[in-house]
Structure 1
Amino acid sequence: MHPSEPGILAALSLYRTHIGTHNHRAFSAIIPDIEAADPDDPDLFESDEELEEARLEFTLRLVGYGHDTRPPITHPSDVLTHWEALAPQLALDGVSVYHDASWRNEMRDVYTRGVIRGLNERCSDSVTAWEFPSDLAVVLQHVDSLEGPGWYKYREDHESVIFFEGWVRDGGADDLTEDIAVGRVRTAREIIDRTVGLGEEYEIVGGWACGEKGNEATCYAVYSRPRGTAGEQGWSWRYVACLGQFGTHVFENVVELLEWYKSYGEPREEDWGVSAEGVFQA
């Protein structure tokens, strides 16, 4: 089943709303704890300014220190005050969207060209003219990554699955190169060797690793068809989350992927607490 563009955008909106709402609730609890935190040692800071700077540094570590956001975060409360603007820049709604639209467009084109070039160079035995998956292309017109629930530090500490790493990672906006995108392409044999059970269920021609962040996790876009369907079902792009001991998940399209991913591994309320010791630790 090939979802329509309105269906894809509706699924993307639902995904972002679900994650953004959950994360906003979390930060509505976290930010007041940060602002109220005081060190056990009253002599730890020489001035109120240094104290405030420590609170800000902790906040920036939570959301990804070094992000060039618009507007900038100068106080912990800015995260909530400017939530609508900052959430997509900090992947607080499950995606990253860099503030420079022309740079985003350039990086998307570089990424797409690189993937297609790599597929043509390494996986051309059965496919003579590769095309980028159309449903993912719709998503990437609007976002630069698919990072799932949580915020930067939560994802790092819990080794969360980043399905599509895109081109804005860890606060940086370094230019992606076509060769880097080419290097993410995988042959059918490489994909089968690194996934559990996928080759038994599907015939595979090739694909690429779109995300390699997570505990034992690698995520792929895979050109494939179910085994035993020759002449009945054509080849198509599928999305695969190989999660090691937690199994391999296959999605027929990006709408199915977003429905699963919007709550996979999301923070629980016990993950929202912040202690003064945590705020002021080195």
Structure 2
Amino acid sequence: MTTQTDVTKRWRVTEAYAGYSIREFLLHAGEFSRQLLKKVRMDGAVYVNGSQEEMWRPLERGDEVAILFPKEEKGAIFPQQGILPVVFEDDDVMVLNKPAGIPVVPPFDQKEPSIASYLLFEYEKRKYPCTAHIVTRLDRDTSGLMLIAKHAYSHSLLTKRLDFISRQYVAIVEGEFREKEGLIDEPIGRAEDSIIRRVVSPVGKPSKTQYYLIQSKKHCSRIRFKLLTGRTHQIRVHMAYRGYPLAGDTLYGGNKVEGVEGQALHCERLHFIHPWTKKKMTFTSEPPKLWDEFA
């Protein structure tokens, strides 16, 4: 794991931005939000060629602009020691391979163990001045790859371009699924009798799920999914609607599977454009071996 204790970013001013003020440069070249810019102005620090400057200062070609970002508010989640299954980490992002059975953020009790509480504990241990920025969430009982932004600037850049982030899932559904591939295009909304459960509803939000059959047996099938939208429980709702609930997904009509935490759903592929280097990043993860015992 990296051992950074602050968040600093540096740019070299090109001819295209000569004459811009630091503020204008950060808004345009740095793609800063106005909210983040205000926080930097109030509590951070701006340097040009090593000297601290005010935001109005005009820039020249070749100047080095450095921003020291302010310490972030940690929020209400209680830091707790736990295993962070890190697949990749640098100064800006972290990719985790989450196990099933742990929430990403505690839904009710802020002291419940979660990925966010483990991150906060690790950051405190490192004296790293940021909070937990979750970019791609997974349900408590969904396993697999998820993306973390390590600071507010990285988070802002990533969420500004969510269409540059793609995820591929694999699941085991109940029943013999016969279609080789297709698209489920059905709107999803909150169920009237539940704050958790979602349903296909004509007044729901547009929801699209692509599916590709991997293997089909009499009692269950293995299917690959790509989300074209990001609704809560989208794969689970769409497959239950089609009559093939996920194995173990008792919330949506599936039967409990011995030894499996909740639904058999795994994020097997994560692709994104790195917010700072702009490089294409792709990570893959195999589904739990336990699946092989019942499918």
Fold in common (TM above 0.5): no
TM-score normalized with structure 1 length? 0.33
TM-score normalized with structure 2 length? 0.32
More helix by share: 1
Structure with higher Rg: it is 2
**Higher RCO by CA contacts (8 Å cutoff, separation 6 or greater):** 1
More strand by share: 2
